[in-house]
Chains A and B, each alone.
Chain A
Amino acid sequence: MTLSMPYLITINPGAILNELLSWLSYLNRGTVLLQLFLVGIVMVAEQRGALRRRMELRLVPEYIRVLIGPLLLLISSGLFLLVGLPWGLLRYFGLLWLGWMSFTPLKILLLSINKKFPVDELESTFLRPVYFIVATMSFIRLMGSTENLAQTPIANLFGVELTLGRIYLAIIAIYVIMTLSSRPATFLAWLSGVLFGVRPKNRRGMELLFRYSVIIIGIIGVAYFIGIDGTAFIAIAGGLSVGIGFGIKEIISNFISGIWLLFEGSVRPGEILMVNGDPCTVRKLGLRATQLRRGRDGAELLIPNQIFFTQEATSFTATETSRRDSVVVGAAYEHDPDIIVELLITIAKEHKKVLEYPPVKAFVIDFAESSINYKVLFWVANPLDSFEIGSDIRRTIWKQFEQKGITIPFPQRQIYPMEWPPSLQQSMHSAGGGGVVTQGIEPELTGSDEKANGEA
Chain B
Amino acid sequence: MEANRVCAPIRRNRCSIALVLSTSLLGGCAITDSQGSIVLKVAQASNENEQHSSHRFEAERKITRDFQHQLIQKQPGIKLHPSIYPEESLERELKVQTNSGLGPDLVIADSNQALSLLALGLTEPIKLTKERQNLINPAALERVKTATGSLAGQPVSQFLQLACFDKRKLKKAPTTLSELSADSGKGKIFGMVTNLQDLYWSLGSFGAGEALTASLAGKKATEAAHERLTLWMRWLKASSYQQNIVFLRNQAALRKAFIQGEMSWISCWSSQLPQLRKELKDHLGIAPLPSGNFGRATPITRLQVWALGKNSSKRQRAESLKLLNFMVQPWAQKTYALKYQTGFPVNPAAALIVSKQLPAGFSKFSEDENKRVSRGDAIVSAINAKPRLRKDIQSTLNKLIFDGLSPEKAATELQNQMKANR
Which A positions have Cβ atoms within 8 angstroms of B? 18-19, 21-22, 24-33, 35-37, 40, 44, 47, 85-89, 91-92, 141-145, 147-149, 151, 163, 166, 227
Contact = CB atoms under 8 A, between A and B. Distances in A.
> Interface SS of chain A: helix, strand, loop or mixed?
helix
Given A24-B30, A148-B57, A148-B84, A33 B100 contact: no
Contact of A44 (B16, B31, B58, B100): B16
A28 B101 contact: no
Given A89-B100, A141-B93, A151-B61, A28 B31 contact: yes
B23 A27 contact: yes
B4 interface: no
Contact of B313 (A30, A44, A145, A227): A30
A255 to B, nearest CB: 33
A33 B27 contact: yes
27 contacts: A21-B33, A21-B39, A22-B41, A24-B30, A25-B81, A25-B316, A26-B30, A27-B26, A29-B311, A29-B312, A31-B311, A32-B100, A32-B311, A33-B27, A35-B100, A44-B19, A86-B100, A86-B311, A88-B100, A88-B101, A142-B96, A145-B83, A145-B85, A145-B93, A147-B56, A151-B58, A163-B54
A166 B52 CA distance: 13
B36 to A, nearest CB: 14
Contacts of B61: 148, 151
B102 A143 contact: yes
A143 B102 CA distance: 7
A145 B43 contact: yes
Nearest to B65: A15
A89 B30 CA distance: 18
A28 B315 contact: yes
B98 interface: yes
A168 to B, nearest CB: 14
B3 interface: no
Quick one: which of A21, A22, A85, A227 has the most chain B CB within 10 A?
A22
A151 B15 CA distance: 36
Nearest to A18: B81
A151 B54 contact: yes
Nearest to A163: B54
A227 B40 CA distance: 34
Nearest to B89: A147
A86 B56 contact: no
6 closest residue pairs by CB, A with B: A88-B100, A86-B101, A24-B30, A145-B83, A25-B39, A22-B81
Interface residues of B, number: 39
A332 B386 CA distance: 113
Nearest to B23: A36
A35 B101 contact: yes
Contacts of B31: 28
Contact of A47 (B15, B38, B41, B81): B15
Quick one: which of A37, A89, A151, A163 has the most chain B CB within 10 A?
A151
A142 B26 contact: no
A25 B30 contact: yes
Nearest to A161: B54
Contacts of A29: 101, 311-313, 316
B274 interface: no
A166 B55 CA distance: 12
Contacts of B39: 21-22, 24-25
Given A22-B41, A28-B27, A141 B54 contact: no
Nearest to A90: B100
A84 to B, nearest CB: 10
A26 B38 CA distance: 11
Contact of B102 (A18, A26, A30, A227): A26
A237 B15 CA distance: 49
Nearest to A138: B96
Contacts of A35: 100-101
A28 B316 CA distance: 8
B19 A89 contact: no
Contacts of B15: 44, 47
Quick one: which of B19, B43, B56, B86 has the most chain A CB within 10 A?
B19
Nearest to A87: B99
Contacts of A148: 57, 61, 83-85
A145 B84 contact: yes
Contacts of A86: 98-102, 311
Contacts of A31: 101, 311
A142 B95 CA distance: 10
A69 to B, nearest CB: 14
A144 B27 contact: no
A151 B57 contact: yes
Nearest to B311: A29
B29 interface: yes
Given A25-B316, A29-B312, A88 B99 contact: yes
Interface in B11-53: 15-16, 19, 23, 26-27, 29-31, 33, 38-41, 43
Nearest to A147: B86
B19 A24 contact: no
Given A25-B81, A145-B43, A145-B83, 20 more contacts: A21-B39, A24-B29, A25-B38, A25-B41, A26-B30, A28-B38, A28-B313, A31-B311, A36-B23, A40-B19, A44-B19, A88-B100, A88-B101, A141-B96, A143-B97, A147-B84, A147-B86, A148-B61, A148-B83, A151-B54
Nearest to A81: B99
Nearest to A19: B81
